[in-house]
Amino acid sequence: MHTLEVRNVSKSYAGHQALREVSLKVEKGTVFGLLGPNGAGKTSLIRIINQITGPDSGEVYFDGQLLDPSHTNSIGYLPEERGLYKKMKVGEQCLYLARLKGLSKAEARTRLHAWFNRFDIMAWWDKKVEDLSKGMAQKIQFITTVLHEPRLLILDEPFSGFDPINAELIRNEMLRLKAEGTTIILSTHDMGSVEELCDNIALINRSEVILDGAVGEVRNRFRTHLFELEYEGMALDLGISLGANFELVKSFGRGGHMVAHIRLIGGHTLNQLLSALLPHVSIISMRELIPGMEEIFIEAVKTYNAANQ
């Protein structure tokens, strides 16, 4: 079941193509990472999903239905550039934003009280927004984004500007919402949180999806058969044992042990490497070095850009 399906969406603004034939599927109850360099077209796509703008061609389906204005009440959106009315009181403002999402005043009040109590910020209710710190305002923004219990939550750089404690708070809320079945689209440049939170990703570069899939699967796709070996013994012995079948990429000492990065070449397997090593060095540990999302991001974008000069 897909909460969101984008089919062949294109959009251009006065001579500039922002999205070209973009397709992606977001599975219900997962966290979907929407990645890409600045200006790649992420915000354009998010705005189309939020029906702030419409696509030039292609369709967007929400829960299997063609996206229509009634769906705005089922989507929660925290933009990267976000703000609040400075002169309004916190509680009043939350009520207003909630009612714009279709909640009744009474319902909005009940839910807000629950959230304010959970975040322990009930004391802010009658404060003016201009008196809040940036972190405080961001908490309020997060609450107003999720208050109407959207089926799809779109968070654009949700952690920026948060201290580690508040970032942790938001991260936990995200996981809780996910566990309750909320589908989340996370757009961020912070690859650490992508690895930690996302089930699937799509990488948009120059208006196109250049890479997508499950995070584990994508990382596997980019693996280079590179292994890290920790051992006791002489580096010279190691070199002898590797011969021409394995490539020694790097060798260094760490915490009293020797460490080597070794790549399998010519279709050789890890078992073959191990049997080659065993007679010469004593192995302490061995693990595969799977590239992080950061490296994959850079690699994929660079490769694409080089091929499409």
Partner 1 sequence: MNKILLIIQREYFSRVSKKSFIVMTILGPLFFAALMFGAIAVTLSDTTEYDVLIVDPIGIITQMDPATGKLVPRYPDQFADQDKLRFSFSKDLQSPEAFKEGFYNVMVELDDVSISDGRCNMFFKKYPPTYVQSEIRSGLQESLERFRVTDSLKLDYETYKRVRVEVSFHEINIERLGEEDRTQEKATIGFGFAIAIYFFIFFYGVQVMRGVLEEKMNRIVEVIVSSVKPFQLMMGKVIGIGLVGLTQFLIWVIFSAIVFSVGMSFFSSEIASGAAVVDNAELIQAGAVDRAVLTQQLMENEAIGWLFQINWPMMIGLFVFFFIGGYMIYGSLFAAIGAALDAETDTQQFLLPITLPLVFAYIVSATMIGNPSSSIGSFFAVFPLTSPVTMMVKAIIGASPWLIILSMVVLVITIFFFVWLAGRIYRVGILMYGKKVSYRELWKWIRY
Judged by CB, which is closer to partner 1: 78, or 260?
78
Please give the order of strands across the beta sheet that includes 57-62. Answer: 16-27, 2-13, 57-62, 65-66
Q: Which amino acid is it at 32?
A: F
Under the binding rule (CB under 8 A), the answer on residue 79 touching partner 1 is yes
Site for partner 1 in 202-231 (CB under 8 A): none
Minimum CB separation from partner 1 for residue 167, in Å? 20
Residue with the two structure tokens 């079948």: 245
- Say how far apart CA 189 and CA 42 lie, in whole Å: 11
For residue 282, with 0-12 CB atoms within 10 Å meaning exposed, 13-18 middle and 19 or more buried, which class applies?
exposed
Minimum CB separation from partner 1 for residue 55, in Å? 13
Q: Which residues contact 71 (CB under 8 A, 6 or more apart)?
A: 51, 62, 65
By the 8 A CB rule, do 182 and 29 touch?
A: yes
Lay out the site mask for partner 1 across 134-173 (x = CB under 8 A, - = otherwise). Answer: -------x--xx----------------------------
Under the binding rule (CB under 8 A), the answer on residue 16 touching partner 1 is no
Under the binding rule (CB under 8 A), the answer on residue 68 touching partner 1 is no
User: Which of 81, 120, 126, 180: binder of partner 1 (CB under 8 A)?
Assistant: 81
Site for partner 1 in 38-57 (CB under 8 A): 47, 50-53
Q: Pairing state of beta strands 75-78 and 226-232?
A: unpaired
Minimum CB separation from partner 1 for residue 138, in Å? 12
**Contact window for partner 1 (CB under 8 A) among 22-30, 67-75, 222-230, 235-243:** 67-75
- 40 phi/psi in degrees, rounded to 5: -75, -25
By the 8 A CB rule, do 292 and 234 touch?
A: no
Under the binding rule (CB under 8 A), the answer on residue 96 touching partner 1 is yes
Minimum CB separation from partner 1 for residue 182, in Å? 16
Residues that bind partner 1 (CB under 8 A): 13-14, 47, 50-53, 69, 72-73, 75, 77-79, 81-88, 96-97, 99-101, 141, 144-145
